[in-house]
Amino acid sequence: MFHHQPLTNLFCCVGWVMESAGTEGNSLSRTDFIYCCGAVTEVLRFGPAHLNHEHKVLFLVIPGNPGIVGFYKTFMQALHASFGFRHPVWAVSHAGHCDPPVSMDMVEDASFIEEGDIFGINGQIEHKLAFLRKHVPKETRLVLLGHSIGCYIILDMMKRNPELQVLKAVMLFPTIERMAQTPQGRILTPALCHMRYLAYLPLFLLSLLPERLKTALVKLAFSRIQSLDSTVVAPTVDLLSGDCAANAMYMGGQEMKGVLERDNLTIKNNLKKLVFYYGAADHWCPVQYYHDIKKDFPSGDIRLCRNGFRHAFVLDTGKDVAGMVIEWLSNDLRS
């Protein structure tokens, strides 16, 4: 069971430990591993590594589960390029959802982890707020981009800190209600809530395989996806590190138990800032959920996918989804 007390008194974020950079066209990407709320965290950045008064707007991706930022690389690169590289585009992983470098442990101090249950859903929300407090100036306007459970996290962030300078919050394939009742939820709830420990031994054995063999297995698993984005292979291999997958399953179990009723009050209070995009064949978020929220908020910007995009859009349509987001946001960023 996770605790509901805020983590603001914890030792939350400490400095950059490792970095790597690569160039794709004019868009420079940078990956850093930091400790945030005592847990290792991966940050992927397009644009500057540090913000100052010249950076008026920050795009921040809050991932789904597993919350590995490498999955969003193509999506982020397209966003960064389309706005003329003017606005930084960052993604922050969920706490413990990464394969840290050998110089870092998964946790910095176990006492912080136990006190705040940082790997649980409540802890992950506080983790994102702590990241913003440490690394983003208060006056920076935020374009929050949530995917799946990341949408739930964003709504709770806006609820807990109404002073966040949110320009827009885009909710892609949002899992913000009744997760255990969805087709996927009914299948996975028993496994995630009661039997996830049975998966730990196979995961540990997989983690011992050579990188080349793990990569081959991942490519085989994705072989049916014709237009697979090759950049998702490496993050998927990272997921096989063992601890990363275990943390993702632990968080998933809490999602099944804790994501129940839609937070209509927070949606109502921020309706003009929100854009919802529902899948037409999403087993994590049935179309009925789209009709329900559309009925409750008829004036809201609530859209249903007409393009056949999958829930895990990053696997093959990250650039296409970014193109839609750019179109939705163009007027807001001009004003």
Per-residue pLDDT tens digits for 61-102 = 999 999 999 999 999 999 999 888 889 999 999 999 999 998
Nearest CA-CA partner of 41 in 111, 101, 112: 101
Active site residues: 148, 282, 311
Helices (H), 3-70: none
Q: Does position 26 have pLDDT exceeding 50, yes or no?
A: yes
Mean pLDDT of the chain: 89
Over residues 236-245, mean pLDDT: 88
- Taking the C-alpha atoms of residue 210 and residue 89, their distance in angstroms, rounded to an integer, is 33
Q: What would the pLDDT profile of 300-329 be if each residue is shown by its tens digit? A: 999 999 999 999 999 999 999 999 999 999
DSSP assignment of 266-300 equals HHHHTGGGEEEEE-TT-TTS-HHHHHHHHHH-TTS
Q: Which fold does the domain 13-185+259-334 belong to in CATH?
A: Rossmann fold (3.40.50)
- Retrieve residue 145's tokens: 């981009």
In 119-210, alpha helices (H): 121-135, 149-160, 183-194, 200-207
Mean per-residue pLDDT, 39-62: 92
Predicted TM-score of the model (pTM): 0.91
Pair 140, 151: CB distance under 8 Å: no
Omega prior to 190 cis, within 30 of 0: no
Q: Where are the domains of the chain?
A: 13-185+259-334
